[in-house]
Amino acid sequence: VSPPNGRRYAPALLTGLSLLRYPAFTSQPGFERVHNRIAEERPELVAAGIHLIVTQLGSGDLIIGDTHDYADTVSPFRQEALDELVLAEAKRLLGVERLDVRERWQGVYPSAPGDPFMVTEPLPGVWVVEVVSGVGMTTALGLAPRVLAGITGGAATDAPRESPAGALRAAPPPPAEARADCGS
């Protein structure tokens, strides 16, 4: 999105919708109250899986998102109504009447119930590390030192004492109910 009014937004902007999305928030006391309030005030946003994030690039352009649509297969089609909901909420948050969309993209990642961190060694010396949820980029810099320490037997000095996944472990194959998250 083109930068509205030449204004700078830093750091990234998130709304209460973000609190509905991530386990770090959903497990907190008071979550149910927040969820119920947002669901009552903005049911269309909750029903659409909208999680509003506004991040500004160095150029001034804004990356605005996103929606979450869980399905067994990835549809080549997107619902314009969902993008319109995201843009309307972003305009409301930023206090602007218009946002000019330069381009759109769709991210797709695997999603499965349970522990989102999977570390496997399918062949001797070949390690696969994946996060089967939308927190891969968020957790990568904390997860990587822990995984490397587990592989090499070294200390994970830059990693938290306990990763969100608990102790490093080999993961079983994804369950049959694993689904794709087709977000925008």
Cis amide bond preceding 11, omega within 30 = yes
Q: Dump pLDDT digits (tens) for 32-87.
A: 999 999 999 999 999 988 989 999 999 999 999 888 877 888 888 888 999 999 99
Single-letter amino acid code for the residue at 66: D
In this prediction, residue 41 carries a pLDDT of 95
Q: Dump pLDDT digits (tens) for 114-155.
A: 888 888 999 998 999 988 887 777 788 888 898 998 888 876
Burial letters 118-128, b for 16+ CB under 10 A, else e: bbeeeeeeeee
Name the β-bridge partners of 63.
55
| Cβ neighbour number for residue 116 with a 10 Å cutoff | 20
Domain ranges of the chain: 4-105, 117-183
In this prediction, residue 164 carries a pLDDT of 41
What is the SS3 assignment for 121? Answer: strand
Pairwise CA distance, residues 6 & 100, whole Å: 13
Strands 179-183 and 53-56: unpaired
C-beta of residue 103 within 8 angstroms of C-beta of residue 88: no
Strands 70-71 and 107-111: unpaired
| Cβ neighbour number for residue 78 with a 10 Å cutoff | 14
Q: Which residue has the higher pLDDT, 26 or 154?
A: 26
